[in-house]
Amino acid sequence: MELMWWHWVALGLGLIALEMFIATFFIMWMGLGALITGLLSFMLPLSFTAQILVWTVASVVMVVVWMKYFKSPDRTHAGQAKEGVLGITGLITRPVTETSEGEILFQRPVLGADRWPVVADAPIAAGERARIVDVLGQTLKVTQL
């Protein structure tokens, strides 16, 4: 079986286009690996085995580089330990009183969401900045800065 360089380019463009519809953010790296393989096959005569090897290595290297260096390390995920979010600050969007919960907005998602219901020991007005001091189930406990 012989693949021409343009087969790899077509496969790469097809995989990148497929990424637009599926949005897994993983297929794109295989598509870019195919484009690299097509470029190398255009410049150098590569056997079928070498082409598959180049495609595999290029795809894996790009996924590893993406995960290690470019994916945002500051983003938190659901199920993260509460100690990982203590001290993060946000903006109070709904005032906190002794009798009602307020709401806080973060610039980046915290524990999977950017808005959280909050409670506090003292009232905090809307528009004030607050810091997380505890996680109480589905509610955050904050103090005013």
Structural domain boundaries of the chain?
5-70, 82-144
pLDDT for 76: 45
b/e 119-128 (16+ beta carbons within 10 angstroms → b): bbeeebeeeb
Q: Does pTM surpass 0.75?
A: no
Q: Per-residue confidence of the chain (145 residues) as pLDDT tens digits?
A: 788 999 999 999 999 999 888 877 789 999 999 999 999 999 999 999 999 999 999 999 999 888 887 765 544 455 556 677 888 999 999 999 888 899 999 988 887 788 999 999 999 999 999 999 998 888 899 999 8
pLDDT for 128: 92
Report the CATH fold assignment for 82-144. Answer: OB fold (Dihydrolipoamide Acetyltransferase, E2P) (2.40.50)
